[in-house]
A and B are shown apart, each in its own frame.
Chain A
Amino acid sequence: MKRILLLRGAELVVFGLLAMIPLWVVNPYALGLLTLLAIYGILLIGLDVTVGYLGQVNLAHVAFLGLGAYTAGLVVTKLGLGMAPALLAALAVGLLLGGLLALPALRLEGPQFALATLSFSALSTTALNELEGLTGGAQGLSLNRPPIFGQVLTPPLFYWLCMALLAVVWMLMRNLLASQWGRAFEALRDSPIATDAMGVGTYRHKVAAFALGSGLGGLAGGLYAFNFQYLQPQSFTYDLMIILLLGVVLGGRKSLWGAFVGASVIVLLPNLLSNRLLFQVFSGLGFAAALAAGLQGLYKKTTRPFQALAPVVAMGILVVGGLFVPNTEDWRKAIFSLMLFSVVVGLPEGLMGFLAIFLAKLFRVPHAPLPEPADIDAVLPLRPSDGTPLLVIDDLKRYFGGVKAVDGLTMTVRSGSIHGLIGPNGSGKSTVVNVISGLYTPTDGTIALRGVVLPSGSLFRVAQAGVARTFQNLQLFGELTAMENILVALKGVYQSSLPMVLFGLARGEERRAQAEALALLELIGLRDQALTKAKDLTYGAQRFLEIARALARKPDLLILDEPAAGLAHPDMLQQIAIIQKIHQRGVSIILIEHHMDVVSELCDMVTVLDGGRIIAEGTPEEVKRHPKVVEAYLGQPPEPQLDGGPAPQPA
Chain B
Amino acid sequence: MNAAIIGQMAISGALMGLVYALIAYGFQLTYATSKSINFGQGELVMVSAFFSLTLTNLGLSQHWGLGLSYGLMVPGGLIFGAIMGLVVERAGVRLALEQKSEGWILLSIILGLFFFSAAENIWGRDDRPFPTPIPEEPFHVLGLAIGPREVAVAVGVLGIMGLIELLKRKTLLGKAFEAVSADRDAAELMGISATRTVMLSYGLSGSVAALAGILVSPITTVGPTMASAIILKAFSVAVVAGLDSGFGVVLVGMFLGALESLASFYLGSGWREAPGLVLLILALALRPTGVFGKATIRKV
A pairs with B = yes
B95 within 8 Å of A by Cβ?
yes
**Residues 68 to 92 of chain B near chain A (Cβ within 8 Å):** 91
A-B contact count (CB 8 A): 126
List A contacts of B105 (CB < 8 A): 57, 110-111, 114
Q: What is the total number of residues of chain A having a CB less than 8 Å from a CB of chain B? A: 52
Main secondary structure of the interface of A (DSSP, over half): helix
Contact status B114-A333, CB under 8 Å: yes
B247 within 8 Å of A by Cβ?
no
Known contacts A130-B270, A338-B114; is A105 also within 8 Å of B284 by CB? Answer: yes
Contact status B37-A111, CB under 8 Å: yes
Contact status B300-A103, CB under 8 Å: no
Q: In the assembly, what is the distance between CA of A453 and CA of B144, in Å?
A: 63
Contact status B106-A111, CB under 8 Å: no
How many Å from the CB of A620 to the closest CB on chain B?
27
Q: In the assembly, what is the distance between CA of A119 and CA of B280, in Å?
A: 8
Contact status A122-B277, CB under 8 Å: yes
Known contacts A114-B39, A400-B297, A439-B298; is A306 also within 8 Å of B111 by CB? Answer: no
**Residues 16 to 51 of chain B near chain A (Cβ within 8 Å):** 36-37, 39
List B contacts of A193 (CB < 8 A): 298, 300
**Residues 195 to 252 of chain B near chain A (Cβ within 8 Å):** 228, 232, 235-236, 239
Of A55, A116, A242, A475, the residue contacting B113 (CB under 8 A) is A242
Q: What is the total number of residues of chain B having a CB less than 8 Å from a CB of chain A? A: 43
List B contacts of A304 (CB < 8 A): 95, 98
Taking Cβ atoms with an 8 Å cutoff, the residues of B that contact A are 36-37, 39, 91, 94-95, 98, 102-103, 105-107, 109-111, 113-114, 116-118, 120-121, 228, 232, 235-236, 239, 268, 270-271, 273-274, 276-278, 280-281, 284-285, 288, 297-298, 300
List A contacts of B274 (CB < 8 A): 123, 126
A472 within 8 Å of B by Cβ?
yes
Contact status B281-A334, CB under 8 Å: no
Contact status A118-B239, CB under 8 Å: no
Known contacts A57-B102, A331-B117; is A123 also within 8 Å of B95 by CB? Answer: no
Contact status A337-B114, CB under 8 Å: yes
Q: In the assembly, what is the distance between CA of A338 and CA of B276, in Å?
A: 32
Q: In the assembly, what is the distance between CA of A105 and CA of B286, in Å?
A: 10
List A contacts of B235 (CB < 8 A): 115, 118-119
List A contacts of B39 (CB < 8 A): 111, 114
Known contacts A193-B298, A310-B91, A345-B95; is A104 also within 8 Å of B106 by CB? Answer: no
A to B CB contacts below 8 Å, 13 in the list? A57-B106, A110-B102, A112-B284, A115-B280, A116-B281, A118-B232, A119-B232, A119-B281, A122-B273, A123-B273, A126-B274, A130-B270, A330-B121
Besides A118-B232, A238-B228, 10 other A-B contacts (C-beta < 8 A): A105-B281, A116-B284, A119-B277, A193-B298, A306-B95, A335-B117, A337-B114, A340-B110, A341-B107, A400-B297
A477 within 8 Å of B by Cβ?
no
Q: In the assembly, what is the distance between CA of A57 and CA of B36, in Å?
A: 14
Q: In the assembly, what is the distance between CA of A105 and CA of B278, in Å?
A: 13
Contact status B103-A130, CB under 8 Å: no
A471 within 8 Å of B by Cβ?
yes
Q: In the assembly, what is the distance between CA of A119 and CA of B278, in Å?
A: 8
How many Å from the CB of B222 to the closest CB on chain A?
19
List B contacts of A333 (CB < 8 A): 113-114, 116-117, 120
A332 within 8 Å of B by Cβ?
yes
List A contacts of B277 (CB < 8 A): 119-120, 122-123, 126
A291 within 8 Å of B by Cβ?
no
List B contacts of A249 (CB < 8 A): 106
Contact status B117-A334, CB under 8 Å: yes
